[in-house]
Amino acid sequence: MIADKMVNFVKNSSAIRAMFEEGKIMAEKYGAENVYDFSLGNPNVPAPAEVKDAIIDILDNEDPVVVHGYMNNSGYEDVRAAIAGSLNRKFGTAFREENILMTVGAAGGMNVIFKTLLNPGDEVMVFAPYFGEYRSYAANYDGVLVEVSPDTETFQPNLEEFRGKITRRTKAVIVNSPNNPTGVVYSEDTIHKLADILREKQKEFGTEIYLISDEPYRELAYDGVQVPYLTKYYENTIVGYSYSKSLSLPGERIGYLVIPDEVADSRDVIAAANVANRILGYVNAPSLMQKVVARCLDAEVDVPAYNKNREALYGGLKKLGFQCIKPEGAFYLFVKSPVADEKVFCDAAKKHHILIVPGSSFACPGYVRIAYCVSYETIMNSMPGFEALAKEFL
Ligand code: PLP
């Protein structure tokens, strides 16, 4: 009885989520400490103390009718102004409150912008490997996802193939940096070249192509690597941000879109996104959390804890002979599977109670993703299992 379209969504429903559920069952069976669940990007580092302080202070001191009430569908004006000001200080931009739309996480933001922009059959380009949910977000609005194959040397976008695949129907291009699943940060050089290609193709076809920068991992970058702010490189850029990872608040569902004035038809896009947020049923982003994040603009999670995990996992696996590039951001390691069919490797890992995700979930078979947003002990205790896998496969 369910809708035809839903049948496919259910069938392709995230393998990652399925593994997360399996991990919980395994933890009950073998004891949580004996299961090494690297499947989900669920932060293990707690939200910073400022978050709790803000919640308590808001509840103690602000009018509950306002705190829990409806507001403009785009969010509280003062919250949006505070976020715009913070971005301007950090990146030298000139955003105003009107350019910010508070969303139900990055996922909500992506759905709002696709509902705003896509006509059926419009093409949305993605660079493999990519976060598999993009497929569903585009399909929700009958958009067609067009994949650019991975450059497995660097995991920077394959720009030549990209140029060749842009058509008159290309409405949006998604970039995600720091990247899930590779941890790669797209370099400034890459971004300049990508922007040039987009401008060239807009001119050739007389169209507008929106660059959607999905950046929930912006704050998780290591060794001082710079993550370019894309609105400064290409006029038609819309940013989707989330506090799920940067403040460890994934369950609270809070983020925002930045729709700059420079974007083509910006007034219409801003107005339509406001309505899209409402009619998708989000109505508005969670009100208490809007107020919380506005008070935590400079708060940080314990990024050094993730960095410690990164070093331990990357160093440990390299020593065992596994091949992977060192991630510069996010909390994922993308490791070459020692067998062509990486699902065989994931199944073998499971025997050692190690849960990792096949690269095919990210349109990049032959690799596996290991999410290191777990305790340091989990990483260290998983090493004998990885060692056994190395002996078996390498
Ligand atoms: N985009 C990417 C690349 C992600 O990895 C995730 C979550 O893992 C999301 C979007 C969704 O994030 P949110 O929890 O903010 O909806």
Exposed e or buried b per residue across 99-126, where buried means at least 16 C-beta atoms within 10 angstroms of its C-beta: bbbbbbbbbbbbbbbbbbbbeeebbbbb
Strand order from edge to edge, sheet including 255-258: 100-103, 255-258, 237-242, 210-214, 170-175, 123-127, 144-148
3-state secondary structure of 362: helix
For ligand 1, atom 5, name the residue with the nearest CA.
180
Dihedral of CA atoms 278, 281, 283, 289 in degrees, nearest 10, equals -140
Gap from CA of 109 to ligand 1 centroid (Å): 10
Gap from CA of 42 to ligand 1 centroid (Å): 10
pLDDT at 22: 85
Gap from CA of 205 to ligand 1 centroid (Å): 32
Gap from CA of 229 to ligand 1 centroid (Å): 18
pLDDT at 9: 87
pLDDT at 331: 98
ipTM: 0.99
Residue 242 parent element (H or E): strand 237-242
| Contacts (Cβ under 8 Å, ≥6 apart) of 53 | none
Q: Which residues pair with 238 in a beta bridge?
A: 212
Residues within a 6 A CB radius of ligand 1: 41, 105-107, 131, 176, 180, 214, 216, 242, 244, 250, 255
Gap from CA of 145 to ligand 1 centroid (Å): 18
Q: Structural domains in the chain?
A: 4-47+301-393 (3.90.1150.10), 49-295 (3.40.640.10)
Handedness of CA 235, 159, 144, 241 (dihedral sign): negative
Angle in degrees, 0-180, between the axes of helices 342-351 and 376-393, rounded to the nearest 10: 120
- pTM for the predicted model, two decimal places: 0.97
Q: What atom of ligand 1 comes closest to residue 243's alpha carbon?
A: 15
CA distance 48 to 31: 28
The residue ranges of the chain whose pLDDT is under 50 are none
Over the stretch 242-277, which tens digit does the pLDDT of each residue have?
A: 999 999 999 999 999 999 999 999 999 999 999 999
CA distance 269 to 313: 43
pLDDT at 14: 65
Mutate to test the pocket of ligand 1, among 176, 242, 369 (most ligand atoms within 8 A of CB): 242
pLDDT at 59: 98
Cα radius of gyration rounded to whole Å, the chain? 21
Query: Of 215, 151, 158, 178, which Cα lies nearest the Cα of 332?
Result: 178
Gap from CA of 190 to ligand 1 centroid (Å): 22
